[in-house]
Amino acid sequence: MAPSRISQAKSPSTQRPDSPRPRANGPLIYEVFKPKLPPDPFARLHVIREPWMLRLDSVAMAVGDPRLDVILVFGAPTLKDISPVLQSPQFSRSLIILASHRPFPVPTGVRPAICTIRLNTSLTNERSGALRLAAVLQCAERVSRLWRKDGGSGVREIRESETGLDVSKIPDNLFLMPDSGSAQSSPSSSLEGLKSTTPSVRLPIISALSFLSSSSSSPPTDRSQRAFDAMLNFIPNGISDVAIMKQTILITSLTHPYLTPASSAFASTTLVSETRERKFLRRRTVPALSFPRALDSDSHASLQFSITSASAISDRGISGPLAKSHLVHILPLSGRAYLSQDKLVRNMESYQLSFAYPPSLSMKRPGMLERAVPYIVPVTALREVVRYAPGSRASKSSASHPPHSSVVVEWTVADILLSGVLDSQANPGGTPYAGPRAWICSGADFAFTAES
């Protein structure tokens, strides 16, 4: 009897460490060995990214030409947030449509035409959902078609009624109404930006319920033009990461038809015309805009003359629309705040890239339309300045090279992003080791390549 008792007492000792053992009044407990390893030095390696490479001549030509673009803005940006777009010379003859429940006050001296769709509540309200966003897009599309047909400048406003937006209530003469008699802002006002005191063309506020006697038929849709050339989504502050993902996914999916031309011939025609124009400008500007060595006073004068010549060429003709539209999601905080929230950035970037560059697009089927190029930036990065300065040798003070001979050229991140100069790097299909990307943390993410 004794040996049997001893064997029964020793039997639990032969149990495996990872096998479950009973617990009083509770579930089974698994004893699993968990080694204490040192921190992984490569855990945050994905945060380190290659810079966006820029060529000085390419940026100067892409940003310097004014275009007849239509930019749709969602959210409630402040005047400081939207100022890089309002002050940009390339959008001085464009239309900016702001769909917001808290629109910013438009200052005098702003050259782009502005149409505000004043909403009763925020678009992020979950009770409104996709139907309300679709109604806003339809109204904004009609405003865009009217402006592309008739042109016009100044400030207009459409108010949402208690029953919602009605696209049939937008008058055909939205951009044909007489102005208030103020003079057109001078060209110098665009250089002074928001500090300009030059009076601008400000038209009376238009309600969506006014002009009921006017015809509400939409202008004929141009199959060769998309409704919007760019869409800026200012994400509100104070919402959760899940709400941010839902909002960006909804806007990305619903705005896709409006950021794509209805005809596939648009992309090829625009690309050919744009290539011809840029080749024409390149012959005139590249020799003066390249910096193979330290600059002197003569090269400084040559640079000024070259930029002036390019501006004169642009004044005689408007640059055509870009081959691809842009969809920019703007996060409410600074770039440093998202270094610790890299999961949100990765999830947003992953969805945007998978939507913009699906595998079916790589097959290049006939009639398949290009999708908008997506970007994700913090709101502070949008107005940061990317500056090009010559080498240290050129900036040093000497008898033959005075300090004022060095040339500094600068652009905002919004200028560079919306000019299309980054589109080839957003999806570098020709580089096997570089995949598509959309995240821009700050102006420090850019670097200029050496001129050949």
DSSP secondary structure of 122-133: -TT-TTTHHHHH
**Full-model pTM:** 0.70
Tokens representing 361 are 């697009």
Across the chain, mean pLDDT equals 71
Q: What is the dihedral of CA 436, 437, 443, 444, to 10 degrees?
A: -80
Please name the helix (run of DSSP H) or strand (run of DSSP E) that holds residue 409, with its range, or none: strand 409-412
User: What phi and psi values does residue 296 have, to the nearest 5 degrees?
Assistant: -120, -170
Please name the helix (run of DSSP H) or strand (run of DSSP E) that holds residue 310, with its range, or none: helix 297-316
DSSP category for residue 229: S
Least confident window among 19-23, 124-128, 172-176, 367-371: 19-23
Residue located via tokens 């029964």: 8
Report whether pLDDT(386) > 80.
yes
Q: What is the pLDDT of residue 2?
A: 52
Q: For residues 41-45, give the mean pLDDT.
A: 50
The SS3 call for residue 381 is: helix
Burial (0-12, 13-18, 19+ Cβ within 10 Å), 160: buried
Percent of the chain with pLDDT over 70: 58
**DSSP E strand stretches across 342-391:** 373-378, 385-388
pLDDT interval class at 49 (50, 70, 90): confident
- pLDDT, tens digit, 9 for 90 and up, residues 404-449: 445 688 899 999 999 999 988 877 654 444 578 899 999 999 998 8
- pLDDT, tens digit, 9 for 90 and up, residues 331-368: 998 877 777 778 899 999 999 999 998 876 555 555 55
- pLDDT, tens digit, 9 for 90 and up, residues 241-279: 999 999 999 999 999 999 988 665 444 444 444 443 444
**DSSP E strand stretches across 101-143:** 113-118
DSSP category for residue 236: P
Q: Where are the alpha helices (DSSP H) in 194-264?
A: 241-255
Report whether pLDDT(299) > 50.
no
pLDDT interval class at 287 (50, 70, 90): very low
Full strand arrangement of the beta sheet holding 326-331: 155-159, 113-118, 95-100, 70-74, 230-234, 326-331, 373-378
The strand pairing partners of 97, in sequence order, are 72, 115
CB hemisphere CA count around 328 (13 angstroms): 33
| DSSP result, 54-69 | E-HHHHHHHHHS-B--
